[in-house]
Structure 1
């Protein structure tokens, strides 16, 4: 009788493990949800909803953004009618650490913005928000326009100190820190700090003046703003998005 009970318990454990393996996506989402909900971190995307996001100067997130396998995925529409589908957070942030993962298809381009001011007169997040580049360095032509246009760069201002981006189809981890009190910013890509930069003052102004953004009204001027994810017309995916205010 004792051996029968032990055998039954063993079969129950095996069945439980098999049941979990039958739904790996659900298991992954639950694991991510528990991990990102650590103290002092605010979950911006846990793999299940767009509740913390909306379209820039627009409403709730709909297609062409979809949720697949615990990630938000952008599928560029064939017909736009002048519409853009950039995402921004519902909340604004000043000093923070942002963590996420991104993945692109061959030849894709996108970006991560901070300090985004939402207003009709600006039209696009990049009009005000500095961008951390998301790119297929091997196949997108923008990568040939200089290292300040390559993956992980503070776009058109600070180039990555080394190449850490993974091949297309693989997930890249990114940590972005912006601290206006300390006048410091950095980008860690796939575990390596590749970009450091000032975020205000004379040093920041000089960087802007030496970039394509010289003379842009409002660019980089909003210390408090929204986080943005770019519709650049290419397929891109993001997941495991969380933020910690400093």
Structure 2
């Protein structure tokens, strides 16, 4: 009989993940690793519900207390019918909102959502040719690799895109997007991870990050 690889439980690390340098950003019980954007604490609109970080009311965007440069990040999300949210990286607090500095990976219900930018796309910059999302009510897993050499986005194990921040291709796409008029957008090489409150119910779990040494 072949031994099965150790599978991580929800909101936990396997022994191998811990040895490889993974860090939990949510333990299923507290939101100590997070705070609201430009605030010291987390608003009442975000609650820990059944082992998830859940947007239950007017909440505002939340960011990690720590800042990260190059890393691999994974999380599970469950979006509501017609719902919208987002995951942002390299966010600084120089802008009025996180998306003015940090590029956003779209999270939404692709079937009944109203935004033409689909889940897993890097908002207005890089899209996918297929839809690997699961239906509303089911969990989806985002995996993101952010590094100066090459960044990648995966949805439920399917590679959606790759890009190099600051490359000619990147700069051209930014210039042709709504972010072209924002001088701070995408410029930071280190920053917070952010979860977006877009006015809809969304839940997150198993948020974990592995810093990559330069």
Same fold (TM over 0.5): yes
Is residue 168 of structure 1 aligned with residue 107 of structure 2? no
Structure 2 partner of 1:96: 71
Of residues 31, 39, 52, the one that matches 1:58 is 39
Tell me the residue number matched to 2:155: 189
Q: Deviations over 1:4-45 (max 9, x none)?
A: xxxxxxxxxxxxxxxxxxxxxxxxx97632438622001111
Name the CA distance, whole Å, in 1 between partners of 2:27 and 2:87: 17
Matched residue, 1:38: 18
Uncovered stretches (5+) of structure 2, i.e. residues with no partner = 1-7
Following superposition, the deviation at residue 140 of structure 1 comes to: 1.2
* Distance of 1:243 and 1:129 partners within structure 2: 17
Structure 1 SS opposite 2:178: coil
- Distance in 2 (alpha carbons) for counterparts of 1:76 and 1:126: 20
The size of the alignment, in residue pairs, is 203
- Equivalent residue runs for 1:87-126 within 5 Å: 87-119=62-94, 122-126=95-99
1:70 maps to 2:36: no
Does the 8 A contact of 1:55 with 1:88 survive in 2?
Answer: yes
TM-score normalised by structure 2 residue count: 0.90
Query: What's the offset of the Cα at 1:199?
Result: 1.5
- CA deviations on 1:77-121 (whole Å, 9 max, x unpaired) are 3xxxxxx610000111111101100011101000000010013xx
The answer for unaligned runs of 5 or more in structure 1 is: 1-28, 78-83
| SS of the residue 2:170 aligns to | helix
Cα distance, 1:172–1:30 mapped onto 2, change above 3 Å? closer
Matched, 1:128 2:90: no
TM-score by length of 1: 0.79
Measured on the aligned residues, the alpha-carbon RMSD in Å equals: 1.6
SS in 1 for 2:181: coil
Confirm or deny: 8 A CA contact 2:11 2:207 kept in the other structure.
no
Corresponding residue for 1:6? none
Residue by residue over 1:182-239, the C-alpha shift from the partner in whole angstroms, topping out at 9 and shown as x without a partner, is: 1x11111101111211222322211101212112120001011110000111110010
Mapped partners of 1:130, 1:32: distance in 2: 25
Distance 1:213 1:34, change over 3 A: closer
Higher helix share: 1
